[in-house]
Every structure is written in structure tokens, then in C-alpha cells.
Amino acid sequence: MNWAICIIHARLSKSYLTSSLWSTAPLFFILTAFMSKPIRNRRTATKLGQKLGKRVRTLRQRNGWSLEQLAERAGMHVTYLSSVERGYRNPTLNVMAAIAKALEVSLGNLVKGIEEEK
């Protein structure tokens, strides 16, 4: 990290010598590259979401469909449906109804056996 501070210091010194706005532009990129925090995945899978996702995956595979085929039938993006199957998304009732309709099952059958543990 010391070499990064040296680069920033050298860049600051040079920007004082030249008053051009463009000479300070690289400083912004250096600062953001070394001083920003890494972006973490903020989504975490829930146990209830994982159970629902497992149920959706089981029904999809029972029909012999790929994730892309189910996403097209349900009218949603593949990445969203994938995160539902992995338990990272908590779909709304409308989304679950669309998935159930695409899977050709009732909404009750989709959530059958999925309960929150006490």
C-alpha cells in the first residue's frame, strides 16, 4: 500500500505544478482503485427460499425443461429464476403464480410442503 501512497503523492505534487483540470483526473482513478471497499454479495440465501427453490427445480426437472425454457414460459429473466432456485430471492405472490402457471401446477401445489421451521 505504501507504493500507492507514493503514486498519489507524486500525482498531487504534479497537479500543483500544472493547473490543468486534466492533470488531476488520474488522481481520482488511483484513489478509487486503492481506497474503495470491495463490493460484497449482499444477498444471502434463506432456508425458506432454498426450500422453495428446490421445489421449483424439482418440478422443472420433472418436466424435462431447462432453466431457460422455464424462464421463457414464466416471462422472467433466467438470472432471476436462477436466484429463486438457489434461494437468494424472495419472490412475490405474483411471481410465484407465474412460475406455477409455467410449471402447469397450482400455486398450492408449488408451495406444498414448504414451511418455516420453528
Mean pLDDT in residue range 43-61 = 92
Contact partners, residue 107, CB within 8 Å, separation at least 6: 96, 97, 100
Claim: this prediction has a pTM higher than 0.75: no
Task: Name the grid cell of 43.
Answer: 444477498
Residue 26, pLDDT score: 55
**CA dist., res. 15 & res. 9, Å (int):** 10
Q: Does the structure show a pLDDT above 70 at 33?
A: no
Domain identity same for 13 and 57: no
Lowest mean pLDDT among 55-64, 98-107, 109-118: 109-118
**CA dist., res. 53 & res. 55, Å (int):** 5
CATH code at position 105 = 1.10.260.40
User: Any idea which residue has 411471481 for its cell?
Assistant: 95
Domain identity same for 51 and 93: yes
Domain identity same for 29 and 53: no
DSSP label at residue 24 = T
Domain identity same for 53 and 24: no
The vertex-93 CA angle with 89 and 98, nearest 5°, equals 90
Please state the domain count of the chain: 2
- Domain-embedded: residue 115: no
**CA dist., res. 63 & res. 30, Å (int):** 52
Residue 78 structural domain: 47-110
